[in-house]
Structure 1
Amino acid sequence: MERITIDVVSDVVCPWCYLGKARLDLAIAEVQDEIGVDINWRPYRLNPDYPKEGVDQKKALAEKLGGEERVAQAHKMLTDYGREVGIAFDFEAIKIGPNTLDAHRLIHWAMIEGREKQDKVVAALFKANFEEGRNVGDHAVLLDIAEKAGLDHSVIASLLAS
């Protein structure tokens, strides 16, 4: 079987990246019997200037997109696109726009354990942020995601503290 490698550069707080991941997953499922696909998740920080504690998501998006009406339009469009690929966006649940540096560190550490664990972590981070409104900049959330993906809690706790 032929194998290809895809490098995906994304941030887990980018809704378009989440849509792209869902669409990529669907495309891979269509060719899985003919082509093996390895995905490397590469970091991109959508908001590198956000402080460690994050920001007020609603206020930051309104400033970034030009007002609450523009945010509502974008969210409606994304919600519709998400529904088509099985994503249940819940933008109202997102209170904190997180700093994603530690989320990217977690994705990197998960890759050391293997692509399967990295994929689980990436999927869980997107879902936590966009469908559950969890703060993916919070170490407790990151530790929960890491543990559920099969990573060692104490190792990840030590790494996050470093």
Structure 2
Amino acid sequence: MKIEIWSDIACPWCYIGKRRFEQALNQFPHRDALDIVWRSFELNPTAPARQTIPTVELLATKYRMSAEKAQTMMDHMAATGAIDGLEFRFDRSISGNTFDAHRVIHFAATVGQRAAMVERLFAAYFTEGEAMGDHHTLVRLASDIGLDAMAVRDMLSSTAHATDVRNDEARAQQFGVTGVPFFAINERYGISGAQPAAAIVEALTKAWKESASVSN
């Protein structure tokens, strides 16, 4: 059974959704039979490689609110993440373009390290304050999971995997995906947002039973 997950590295709900999905997998007896594919999605494709404006100010401007209210939103987000074991350090976060980070994920997929790369980038962005638009940073983070630094550097210096990112985004449009995270199960069932693990297990179970009845 195929699970496609659209997410962006700079999306806090995507990180929470990833944890809840993992919790669901621990409760799903057929997890080893799942083909899980992470898909690219850019929340802000026109963003510069690295923002110099503090995240709280960016949030306040985006939603037309005061800095105090924006800070309250971030504090609430951090508290929500903590429930699922995540440490959000928005005081460290460096916003910016995530296109190259998605290219690195596709490169990691060619050597069977897609999931590890996704996890490393999430932690680096939300907890460690790393810049996702900086090539030197991306090379170092890829090296952390065992990827060849020179190969990653050469890839980033080219246009490799740019088409893969665009194809993922085009596929998202075909599914009508406008926000992330979004989980597509066997191209038939969709889960939008960071749903509780129990809801994800329910959807997986329903899709599994359906696919089993069709194959029989």
TM-score using structure 1 length: 0.89
Percent identity of equivalent pairs:
36
Distance 1:53 1:86 in 2: 27
Query: Secondary structure in 1 aligned to 2:107?
Result: helix
Give 1:18's aligned amino acid. Y
The answer on whether the counterparts of 2:89 and 2:126 sit within 8 Å (CA) in structure 1 is: yes
Instruction: State the partner residue of 2:31.
Output: 35
Instruction: State the partner residue of 1:155.
Output: 151
Distance 1:129 1:19 in 2: 13
**TM-aligned CA deviation for residue 55 of structure 1:** 4.5
Query: Secondary structure in 2 aligned to 1:25?
Result: helix
Give 1:143's aligned amino acid. V
**TM-aligned CA deviation for residue 160 of structure 1:** 0.6
Distance 1:61 1:55 in 2: 13
**TM-aligned CA deviation for residue 73 of structure 1:** 2.3
The answer on whether the counterparts of 1:54 and 1:137 sit within 8 Å (CA) in structure 2 is: no
Distance 1:79 1:63 in 2: 20
Instruction: State the partner residue of 1:90.
Output: 89
Unaligned runs of 5+ in 2: 159-216
Matches within 5 A, 1:49-88: 49-56=46-53, 57-65=55-63, 66-88=65-87
Deviations 1:115-159 (A, max 9, x none): xx1111100111001011111111121111111222111111001
Distance 2:35 2:67 in 1: 39
Unaligned runs of 5+ in 1: none
1:44 aligns with 2:74: no
Distance 2:92 2:86 in 1: 14
Deviations 1:65-102 (A, max 9, x none): 223123222212211211111101111111x2111010
**TM-aligned CA deviation for residue 8 of structure 1:** 0.8
Instruction: State the partner residue of 1:20.
Output: 17
Query: Secondary structure in 2 aligned to 1:93?
Result: coil
Distance 1:69 1:128 in 2: 26
Bigger Rg, which one: 2
1:121 to 117, 122, 130: 117
Query: Secondary structure in 1 aligned to 2:110?
Result: helix
**Structure with greater proportional strand content:** 1
Q: Structure 1 residues 40 and 55 mapped into 2: Cα distance closer, same or farther (>3 Å)? A: farther
Give 1:62's aligned amino acid. A
Q: State the structure with bigger RCO (CA 8 A, min sep 6), 1 or 2.
A: 2
The answer on whether the counterparts of 1:107 and 1:121 sit within 8 Å (CA) in structure 2 is: yes
